[in-house]
């Protein structure tokens, strides 16, 4: 049996709470996460990143500084997870760094996407070949650059004879549909946690709604929910992708202003949970999907998981833990796997998912 190759995967999602890092062992077609690490952002850096996610003054200078500081945190996370794995730097074939998205603007004619976290610096600080900037080659080929994880979901979770959907509920929810054939469907269904996080931060000064407890104390407002679901994004066909540049507090408050009377903040939170659940469920056929496997932070939101189960019955709603990967680490593992594809000069995108004109080898290589 051949010796495994080890890749590090790094990602910070749209929630901007820190860096997920894994060491992925690859042996032929088998993969295994052998170590994982969560590297929180320093609060000053988290706020600096968030300030770059929307237009503002002096952006170029701020971008240059934050690009460097994010890279330093990514390098720290990489070295920490390698140490946890009991490996040496020289054992790692490559780092796959997603970086930190600060803009994702899909459109018909001027799509662009931008992730920061200078890979030159990561390679320099770790001494490991680093692969980054995965999304923009797909965009150059006419795609949206997102989602990129469905190809990994097929490798990690494809089950013969069992139609499975995978949904990552991070800041944005993205869905992968897996069947027995070669068809692969994936797209962003809409907001995941991003609106709930923004609302709880505004009213309770908390980073997120722990276990959905605040949402569980409220009642969904059907009038607000209807105004949210009327947004044309939800009825738009795939391929499609989105981000907090679109689904944000301003988007929510515009719809709250349409209501004749204010509603309690906990009811708004429950409505946002319902929005996430319904926008996911609306994309799935519960008669043909045997199971929905959930990963990302939303997997820890009990009321959300319960609601998905109710909306999708008889489809079984599980977490990816049941399929062998802890839901916290699926996205980081995906970028470790994407790094392996680049090293092997193999494509990492799925044109049926992103809308690209063809398969492309993704990422830029920064030698260690």
Question: Mean of the pLDDT values across residues 304-314?
Answer: 97
Average pLDDT over residues 291-304: 97
DSSP-derived pairing of the beta strands 112-116 and 92-105: antiparallel
Please say if the pLDDT value at position 48 is more than 80.
yes
Task: Give 95's contacts (C-beta < 8 A, 6+ positions apart).
Answer: 7, 8, 9, 10, 78, 122, 123, 126, 128, 129, 130, 131, 339
Query: Tokens representing 162?
Result: 């069992």
Report whether 194 contacts 15 (CB < 8 A): yes
Q: What is the mean pLDDT of residues 102-130?
A: 93
**What's the mean pLDDT in 151-178?**
89
What does the alpha-carbon distance between residue 338 and residue 360 come to, in Å, rounded to a whole number? 12
Q: What is the DSSP string of 70-83?
A: HHHHHHHHHHHHHH
For residue 288, the tally of other CB atoms under 10 A from its CB is 11
% of the chain exceeding 90 in pLDDT: 88
- Intrachain domains 5-144+329-366 and 150-323 with the same fold: yes
What sign for the dihedral angle of Cα 299, 351, 6, 18? negative
Please tell me whether the peptide bond between 147 and the residue prior to it is cis, using omega within 30 degrees of 0: yes
Q: How far apart are CA 154 and CA 260, in angstroms?
A: 46
7-39 pLDDT tens trace: 999 999 888 889 999 999 999 889 999 999 999
Could you tell me which residues come within 8 angstroms of residue 344 by beta carbon, excluding any fewer than 6 positions away?
A: none
pLDDT over 80 (residue 180): no
Peptide bond into 239 cis (omega under 30): yes
Whether the per-residue pLDDT at 195 is higher than 70: the answer is yes
Domain segments of the chain as ranges: 5-144+329-366, 150-323
- 51 — pLDDT class (breaks 50, 70, 90): very high
Tens-place pLDDT, residues 137-157: 999 999 999 999 999 999 999
Instruction: Give the residue-averaged pLDDT of 234-243.
Output: 94
Mean pLDDT calculated for residue range 331-343? 98
For residue 108, the model assigns a pLDDT of 67
CATH assignment of 150-323, given 3.40.710.10, 3.20.20.150, 3.30.830.10, 3.30.420.40? 3.30.420.40
Domain 5-144+329-366 sits in CATH at 3.30.420.40
């Amino acid at each position: 049996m051949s010796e495994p190759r080890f890749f590090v995967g790094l990602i910070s999602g749209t929630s901007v709470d820190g860096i997920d890092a894994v060491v992925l062992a690859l042996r032929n077609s088998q993969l295994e996460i052998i170590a994982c690490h969560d590297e929180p952002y320093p609060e000053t850096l988290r706020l600096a990143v968030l300030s770059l996610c929307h237009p503002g003054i002096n952006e170029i200078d701020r971008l240059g500084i934050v690009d460097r500081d994010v890279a330093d945190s990514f390098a720290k996370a990489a070295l920490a997870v390698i140490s946890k794995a009991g490996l040496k730097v020289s054992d790692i074939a490559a780092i796959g760094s997603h970086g930190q998205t600060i803009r994702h603007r899909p459109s018909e004619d001027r799509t662009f996407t931008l992730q920061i976290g200078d890979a030159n610096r990561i390679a320099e600080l770790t001494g490991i070949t680093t692969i980054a900037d995965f999304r923009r080659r797909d965009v150059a080929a006419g795609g949206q650059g997102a989602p990129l994880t469905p190809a990994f979901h097929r490798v990690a979770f494809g089950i013969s004879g069992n139609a499975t959907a995978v949904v990552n509920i991070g800041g944005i929810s993205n869905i992968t549909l897996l069947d027995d054939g070669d068809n692969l469907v994936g797209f962003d269904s809409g907001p995941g946690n991003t609106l709930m996080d923004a609302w709880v931060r505004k009213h309770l000064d908390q980073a997120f709604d722990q276990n959905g407890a605040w949402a569980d104390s409220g009642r969904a407002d059907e009038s607000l929910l209807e105004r949210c679901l009327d947004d044309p994004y939800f009825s738009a066909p795939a391929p499609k992708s989105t981000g907090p540049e679109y689904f944000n507090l301003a988007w929510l408050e515009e719809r709250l202003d349409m209501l004749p009377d204010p509603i309690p903040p906990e009811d708004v939170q429950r409505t946002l949970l319902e929005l996430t659940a319904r926008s996911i469920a609306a994309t799935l056929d519960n008669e043909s999907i045997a199971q929905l496997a959930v990963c990302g932070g939303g997997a820890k939101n009990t009321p959300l998981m319960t609601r998905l189960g109710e909306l999708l019955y008889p489809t079984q709603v599980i977490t990816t833990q049941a399929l062998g990967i802890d839901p916290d680490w699926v996205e980081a593992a995906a970028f470790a796997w994407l790094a392996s594809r680049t090293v092997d000069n193999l494509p990492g995108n799925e044109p049926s998912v992103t809308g690209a004109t063809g398969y492309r080898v993704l990422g830029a290589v920064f030698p260690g």
